[in-house]
Each structure stands twice: as structure tokens, then as C-alpha cells.
Amino acid sequence: MIKVSGVTKKYPARLAVDNISFEVNRGEIVGFLGPNGAGKTTTMRMLTGYLPVNSGTIEVAGFDISREPQEVRRRVGYLPESCPLYPEMRVDEYLKFRASLKGVKSSIRRNKVNEVKELCGLTEVGKRIIGQLSKGYRQRVGLADSMVHDPDLLVLDEPTVGLDPFQIRQVRELITHLAERHTVLLSTHILQEVEAICERILIINEGRIVASDTEENLHRQLQACSIIEMEIMAEKESAIEKVSRLEGLDVRNANELADGWLWLEVEADAASMRVELYNLAVAEGWALRELSEQQHSLEDTFVQITSRKEEK
Ligand SMILES: Nc1ncnc2c1ncn2[C@@H]1O[C@H](COP(=O)(O)OP(=O)(O)OP(=O)(O)O)[C@@H](O)[C@H]1O
């Protein structure tokens, strides 16, 4: 559905997107993650034909964005970061206006508007003035707008930004529902959002794609190093020395607990090195009451991937 090949975008004072390539398959729901200024919005604007590329090619639904921008726009629904609604218009009026701008035939326009209103939970507010709606509802109007021409692909830039937790949940459910019929590329800062709705994650950092995989596989890449916590009855200095002497294990933190036990935080080069620590405790005659490996959160994964120096 999306094929980006070697795309670069330079603003006068800044290289925002640096030779990126990635693909999104039909029917996928892909999360686009990256720190502030990483290049997410720039990429999304190029994908939707709002910003020209400097070099490289973008194909959407088989059409080249530079050569056939109209064909691409017809097949893409875009929810920009700050959706430019007309605050003085009523919801129905606005959606009909947008549908006509997007070339929806007048004979089916009313039906299309009703359909997207229903999908976005807007049926009750059709007669309301947009400027008087809550932010959550305005966001739904933006979503309804992005899909009123029945696009194959939805590109959503931070769809839940500024919403309260209840609205966030509703908009997420809506997106999950939309993904049954559309391919979705969605940018967000909220990692739980990606965990909750996306099948695959693309991570962009300083204008470059630094990861593209399922959440599970991204975690797996990082399982190569893990953190183990242990609590033993042992003398601090000697325990640190003996643990650190084991290959692939290094003590990061040590604390003598109030009840006399020693807590150690150990960095392991590989997953499942707890058994080495268990064997050491047995060999040294240390009583052991805790030996656990920390699971990486998506946040750890994100931080590690976006701070890997060699990939910059
Ligand atoms: N119109 C512009 N003119 C000049 N520089 C720009 C323009 N738009 C974006 N930039 C710069 O390009 C880089 C990428 O910006 P972009 O908005 O694509 O990042 P982003 O990942 O969407 O960030 P955020 O998460 O903060 O929205 C940033 O350094 C930004 O300052």
C-alpha cells in the first residue's frame, strides 16, 4: 500500500528526513514512533502529497506521488496534527463540504456522510457547531473528514493528542475498528497507544528509520541484554566482586537492605543468565530469596533504539 524508497526532505536550515525507505502492506496497522523533531510529520505530509520530496520516490496504492498526486490523494485520508476544521460550520455541513471537495459524487454524498458519522460516533451531533464541540468530538470530526471519501489508506498524525483518558480510549477503539477496513499509519508519542493498536512499529530518529518490526521482535532484539535483580545473604564487596567475575555479568547497583539482605542489580549480556547467578549463590553458600529478570517495556526498547549511536 505504501512504498517509500530513498526519500529525503530538506528544509532550508535542516535535513528533516534522510534517505528513508519502508513499506506498509495493505491491511496493516503501523505505528510511527519517534522523538520530537524526528521527522514523523514531515514524512506523513510527503506521503499524503502535501509536501514534495527532494529525492526518492513514494508510491501509494501503486501510484507515484510526484507523477499522480490526484490519484494518491483520492486513496488517502489524512488527519493532520492540528486538524484545520471550520469552527463556525455545523458538523453535517462541514462533512458534506469536505466530501464535495474530495470528489464524492453528490448522489452518494449524504449516505457517505451518514456512514462516517455513524462510524465515528457523531450521529447525535450532526447539527452542532464545530467550534462548540469538545476537543474529543472535534477530533472525531477530523477522523470522519479523513475517511469521508472512503480512502484505502488512513494517515493519522497524533490522533489522540490533547484528549482526556476517556476520549483517548474511545478514539483508539475507533481506530482499531477502522483498521478492519483500511490500512492505517499512525504517529504517536504515546507508547501504550502503539501497544494497544498497532501490529508493527516503525521507529524514526533524526530523520532515519532505525527500526521496523513487531513489538515482540523489537523486544527480542533487546533481550540480548537484560537486567537481573537478586537478593542474597552475603557480604557486599565480596558478592559484587564474585558476580562481576562471571563472564557476561556486571553489577550495576548494590544495596544493603534494612533487614540485612543484599540487593543486587546485575546487567547480563544475554537473556536467561539467572542460572549462572543461582549456581554462584549455591557454590558460595549464599541464601537466595529473589532472582528475577526484568521484562523490557516498549519504553525501554524505544529509548535504546533511538539512542544507539552507531545507527545515527
Ligand atoms: N516548515 C519547516 N521549516 C523548517 N524546518 C522544519 C519545518 N517543519 C519541520 N521542520 C524541522 O524538521 C524536523 C522534523 O520535524 P517534524 O515536524 O517532521 O518532526 P516530528 O517527528 O513530527 O516531531 P514532533 O513529534 O515534535 O511533532 C525538525 O527539526 C523540525 O524543526
The two beta strands, 249-256 and 262-268, are: antiparallel
pLDDT by residue (tens digit) across 58-94?
Answer: 999 999 999 999 899 889 999 998 777 788 999 999 9
The residue written with cell numbers 534517505 in the block is: 19
Q: Per-residue pLDDT for 37 more than 50?
A: yes
Residue 138 · residue 91 · CB < 8 Å: no
What local confidence, expressed as pLDDT, does residue 309 receive? Answer: 46
pLDDT by residue (tens digit) across 6-30?
Answer: 999 999 989 999 999 999 999 899 9
Question: Predicted ipTM?
Answer: 0.96
What local confidence, expressed as pLDDT, does residue 213 receive? Answer: 87
Atom in ligand 1 nearest the alpha carbon of residue 81: 27
Q: Per-residue pLDDT for 1 more than 60?
A: yes
- Cell (9 digits) for 284: 558460595
Which of the residue ranges 118-127, 271-280, 300-309 would you say has the lowest mean pLDDT? 300-309
Q: How far is the CA of 206 from the centre of ligand 1 (A)?
A: 10
Q: How far is the CA of 282 from the centre of ligand 1 (A)?
A: 55
Q: Whose CA is nearest to atom 29 of ligand 1?
A: 37
The C-alpha atoms of residue 240 and residue 266 are separated, in whole angstroms, by: 9
**pLDDT band for position 223 (50/70/90)?**
low
Percent composition of the chain: helix, strand, coil (DSSP 3-state, to 5): 40, 30, 30
Q: Whose CA is nearest to atom 8 of ligand 1?
A: 42
Residues with CB under 6 A from ligand 1: 11, 14, 16, 34, 36-42
- Cell (9 digits) for 50: 502535501
The C-alpha atoms of residue 48 and residue 77 are separated, in whole angstroms, by: 8
Judged on CB neighbours under 10 Å (0-12, 13-18, 19+), 35 is: middle
